[in-house]
Amino acid sequence: MTTATASATATATDFDVDLFVLGGGSGGVRAARVAASHGARVAIAEQSRWGGTCVIRGCVPKKLMVYAAEVAAMVEDARGFGWDIAAPRHDWATLIAAKDREIARLSELYVANLRRHGVAIHDGRATLIDPHTVEVAGQRVRAAHVLVATGGTPRKLAVPGAELAVSSDEVFHLPALPPRVLVAGGGYIGVEFAHIFAGLGAAVTLVHRGERVLPGFDPDLRAGVEAGLAGHGIAVAASAEIARIDRAGPEQGLIVTLTSGATHSVDLVMAAVGRAPNSAGLGLEAAGVVVDGRGAIVVDEWSRTRVPHIHAVGDVTGRVALTPIAIREGHAVADTLFGGRPTPVRHDHIPTAVFSQPPAASVGLAEDIARARGHQVQIYAARFKPMRHTLTGRNQQVLIKLVVDTADRKVLGVHMVGPDAPEIVQAAAIAVTMGATKEDFDRTFAIHPTTAEELVLLR
């Protein structure tokens, strides 16, 4: 692999910087900062706000809105513990303003951290002119290495009236809470925003083309999340798709027609039908970089493109569209090129969470996928009402499930739906990544009374 010394020798005569990063999101910023800490001369460009999808229009603002949406249920549950609390009233404008202040703070922090590490910052859209030349705001910069970390962009509905729908980009800036919402899409984003809107008081319908929400997750986890949707009064139209969207009339909302012929009168349609790699218009062709049929940049385990000195990380590669993965990939590129530590990234044992109500989380193999890969498995599972709801009366169940290989007894997967599931599975992911067996789980003492203790009590 290229070393920092070799790169420095070349850049002394031929290049303005050792590394130019296209994209100021989580992956690009991490790569720039770590490369600079290794002594590389680094420049980075961002055409929008610093922080990328996660900070500006993704994980962070979404989680803040999830917290807000959970409060109404907390107030309801408080009565079971003897609290006499008046019916809550939510102010949408206050939430959005508070959210915007926090996002601005985090965005400024990204810039401050880059400057502290000596990274040259360019505000504007960067494009590749040739394999080593980047142009941004009329300025051309010669770079020994280039990293493309431009993220993804929401896919649009391909139906008449699609322009009447909003995506996950716009939904954070609505002027008011829509009374009636139809969410199209049963993945992470669709499920999470269905709960957000419902928790804040909207009537919500979730339309998705599959038989169950959350494709790719464990079947029992998917069933548990669907029970949570129903428990929050969210109407689910499965195996259905939107055929068209029409205006009902001036200031009268929208009419959504499904392929089945059913219609829904709503005030907002949110399209949550996936995200596409943001690779268009970057000059990749001029640089010789190959993209696949989805527009994803083709890379190897070192995040190298077909042009050895051009790398790509994060959502633009179409691998795993999760912020921690982009960060790990960006860090690995910086260590490989400038830190003297060649570091490939292997995408296995990735924990992930869906911030539904209750939330769901998973690490490792789902039961059906484990069987499809030839594993003989044993399933250890528990379903129970969490202790907190023995007094509230809320009809909510926890699911905890282990998928275990019968041959070597390794825990192949941990799946959970219930309060604090993401926090619990994050810790369990350490054990799964280390190759823990069911017996390792069994000999671990429980913390009682907790929900998480079931992880080590399943028999």
Q: What distances in angstroms separate CA 96 from CA 35, 61, 99, 101, 177, one per listed residue? A: 35, 9, 5, 9, 10
Residue 332 buriedness (CB in 10 A; 0-12 / 13-18 / 19+): buried
Buried-exposed string 340-362: b where 16+ CB fall within 10 A, e elsewhere: eeebebeeebbbbbbbbbbbbbb
448 given a catalytic annotation: yes
Q: What distances in angstroms separate CA 256 from CA 15, 32, 270, 279, one per listed residue? A: 55, 45, 11, 31
Which residues 6+ apart lie within 8 Å of 134 measured at CB?
A: 20, 22, 43, 45, 126, 127, 128, 140, 141, 143, 146
What count of residues does the chain have? 459
What are the phi and psi torsion angles at 413 (to 5°)?
Answer: -155, 145
Torsion sign (Cα): 300, 303, 307, 308? negative
Task: Name the residue with tokens 């290989």.
Answer: 405
DSSP lists the bridge partners of residue 400 as 382, 416
Q: What distances in angstroms separate CA 158 from CA 11, 162, 163, 208, 279, one per listed residue? A: 47, 6, 10, 14, 20
Q: In angstroms, rounded to a whole number, what is the distance separating the alpha carbons of residues 183 and 172?
A: 14
Return the active site residues. Answer: 448
